[in-house]
Amino acid sequence: MELHIRLEGRKGLADQLYQQLRAGIDSGHLAAGTQLPPSRLLAEQLGVSRKTVAEAYSRLSYDNLLSAVVGRGTFIASRQPLQNPAEPAVPLAAAAALERWQQRATVLAARATQAPSRHDFVGGASIKSQFPFDQWRSCLNYALRRSQRHPERHFAAQGLHELREAISHHIAYSRGVRCSAADVLVCNGAQQALDLIARVLVQPGCQVAMEDPGYPPARQLFLALGATLQSIPVDGEGLCVDAIADGTQLIYVTPSHQFPLGMPMSEARRHALLARAAELGALIIEDDYDCEFRYQGPAPDALQRLDRHGLVAYVGTFSKTLLPELRLGYAVLPAAVLGAACVAKHLSDWHSPPLLQWALARFIGEGHLNKHIRRCHDIYSARRERILTRLDGDLAPWFSAVPASAGFHLSALARPGVDVELLISLARKVEVGLYSLAPFFSEAPLRPGLLMGFGAIELLDIDPALDRVRDTLQQLS
């Protein structure tokens, strides 16, 4: 890589070179420890004599800005860059649009920068200690070999056929989704799937209905695209379908494990929702974010399986079942939406990384995904039971669990008189991470409580952590 230097004319070349290197060092653009090219090489690159470069280097060394290491080369010396007063920024004509997006930040984004507690009940974090890293490494090596032999430079925006085939078989088996590889769009996580669907459907003023409480990133995405948002309350059977207004064009739901409260949508409510969507011609986004993990009774079919009119877009992710760092998800889309979403995907980032797609296709095909889910299911089940036992036991005077049969978080509603936010603050002081339900409510009356994830906390840590929570609650009482 060439050093960016521009010399003008044929006079004072050594001084020009010195001044430009000095300016780069003073500003910090040439960082301490950066190795400069050998004088012979830089002279060839700039088309000047080696003596010119040597003179500039000598002056910089005299100023203690360079240090020479015998046998290694010449390096920028350590020093504090000069702080030049910045030029005043010119206000952008699009400042209002930027402000609109900046206002869309969510509490979940803020949590990403927060240091975890020793005992952390954070939601959405999957177990890493059980991940089969050796098998995943083998699949990545296979993907590298495939890449070496692959002649193409670009790939279909919809995703590699073998991964879409593997996904369609997996979700048909585990969730009853009716689809083929042709219906699947591979995305960078479920959030991109939501973004692509919304981008091709939502225009300013478009009416979008979603659960309240609900998933904040989806809410903020729809608002950022100019939607008119309806906050639809939920009850023990899920989304209250009767509250969906005329003119609604898009409905976002989490029917199998309502986020964040956790109750599943009843069979009758599912049929009512599909009937209402058919009346409106509205697309339903079914976010099935963590429902491969079920603990009670037979797993209900996905809402998409009941759809007979092409009105359900089914969204899933591997961030919960595998690793959040993987950032691969998918959407099963009706024919009316798929083509436009593929164009939006192509314009967004061309396609998801083929190396990860090849690796994941092999990982699923060799049975590693199902084995990992079964292994994690037993671990999550034991953790869930332990938390429920405590909520029904010594924590019952302060909290009651919301019935939920899937996923790896549950919600605990606070009884009257419990100051949830104060409890969270005091719990962090004793190294217990608790998280409020409040950020997930928008217009619906707040139901104070806790979202308790059990993906990131070990079974043996649950009782000591909840002992500290109980002791804190007793002190507050």
**Domains parsed from the chain with CATH numbers:** 13-76 (1.10.10.10), 115-127+371-476 (3.90.1150.10), 133-366 (3.40.640.10)
Give me the pLDDT at residue 291, please: 83
Q: What is the pLDDT of residues 205-246, one digit of tens each?
A: 999 999 999 999 999 999 999 999 999 999 999 999 999 999
Give me the pLDDT at residue 81, please: 65
DSSP symbol at 438: G
Question: Which positions of the chain have pLDDT values less than 70?
Answer: 1, 81-86, 107-113
Instruction: Answer for the pair 50, 39: CB distance below 8 angstroms, yes or no.
Output: yes
Instruction: Answer for the pair 450, 411: CB distance below 8 angstroms, yes or no.
Output: yes
Give me the pLDDT at residue 85, please: 65
Structure tokens at 188: 């960078």
Cα atoms found within 13 Å of the Cα of residue 322, Cβ hemisphere only: 22
According to DSSP, the residues that pair with 294 across neighbouring strands are 406
Structure tokens at 300: 């209900």
Chain CA centroid to CA 437, Å:
19
- 85-122 CB burial, b ≥16 within 10 A, e <16: eeeeeeeeeeeeeeeeeeebebebeeeeeeeebebbbb
Give me the pLDDT at residue 106, please: 72
d(CA 256, CA 246): 25
Chain CA centroid to CA 77, Å:
40
pTM for the model stands at 0.88
User: What separation in angstroms does the CA of 246 have from each of 127, 201, 280, 303, 477?
Assistant: 43, 17, 7, 22, 47
- For 73-76, which contacts have Cβ atoms below 8 Å and span 24 or more sequence positions? 73/35, 73/36, 73/38, 74/35, 74/36, 74/38, 75/33, 75/34, 75/35, 75/36, 76/25, 76/30, 76/31, 76/32, 76/33, 76/34, 76/36
Instruction: Answer for the pair 292, 223: CB distance below 8 angstroms, yes or no.
Output: no
Give me the pLDDT at residue 9, please: 83
- Of 26, 27, 5, 29, the C-alpha closest to 16 is 5
Longest dimension (CA), the chain: 86
- 330-350 CB burial, b ≥16 within 10 A, e <16: bbbbbeebbeebbebbeeeee
